[in-house]
Amino acid sequence: MGEGLFSPWHIAIIAFVVFMVFGPKKIADRFTDLSQGVQEWIENDGEGGAAPATDEAQAAPPPPKKVKLSRRIGQRLYRLRHRRRRAPL
C-alpha cells in the first residue's frame, strides 16, 4: 500500500498545491455551492431541476458588498491629500 499515484504523500502534495493556487476563500465557496446543490437535489427527491423559488427569496435584496480595509484606508488617504485647505478666519 502507498505505491502509485494515490499514495498519501501524493494526495497531500496535490492538496497543498490546489490550496496555494486557489486560496481558502475560493475553495470554501466551491464547497458551499456544491453542498447547496446537493441539498436542492435531495429536497427534489433526486428528480433534478431547481427548486421553485419563493416570493421571499425573490423580494430580498442582495447584501451590500463589503469594502476591503485596504481600499477604505486608501480612499481616506486620498481625501486627506487632496482636501482643499481652508483660509483662516
* Calpha distance 81→75 (Å, rounded): 10
Over the stretch 13-65, which tens digit does the pLDDT of each residue have?
988 898 888 887 888 888 888 888 888 888 887 665 555 555 555 677 777 78
Q: Are 48 and 41 in contact (CB under 8 A)?
A: yes
Comparing 10 with 85, which gets the higher pLDDT? 10
The closest of 86, 88, 67, 87 to 76, measured between CA atoms, is 67
pTM above 0.75, yes or no: no
What single-letter amino acid sits at 29? Answer: D
